Structure 1
């Protein structure tokens, strides 16, 4: 496990060398830092690497978290990194469903590249 960011109540780490995991309060105060550190990590991966995003530790859903997630998806696509699964907490799952973003998020049942 490698910690990429720990500040303002949010923690971003890499688990098992391929899972980008967010825990804590991913809000407007920490969103820019989370997006930047996650983007930097994605850009450093070899092309065709398969990764997962784990946001089960984010218990307060906000548009800031969605912005971070969308930024990571764009970066992965640009770097030809394959997102095979995005796991969301219940509050985030409800928010992405309301925002109509579910089709953009690969799950265990629908393994696709971003």
Structure 2
């Protein structure tokens, strides 16, 4: 069973295969970067799939406008200034997912000199 098959099975209403493959590739690259590896071990197949499912659910739950933070409000002529976020929504989602699965990924992490 591939990561794509696992993700499709776990999601009730999965996106198109192209979009799923994009999520799988994005999460896979995050795993490779975190573990300092060029490959993803077979033992991480289910962790990889679970991370993709969590990322899709997190992005479905978050509203794109909710990432904006109000910097200041002026009532006279009603001005609202939004603070720009340092990280994009996708980076925040990937970081949150990685933090959740850190303990499982540490077992496969390689040292870098």
TM-score by length of 1: 0.24
Tell which structure's C-alpha radius of gyration is larger. Answer: 2
Pick the structure with more helix per residue. 2
Larger RCO: 1 or 2 (CA < 8 Å, sep 6+): 2
TM-score by length of 2: 0.24
Pick the structure with more strand per residue. 1
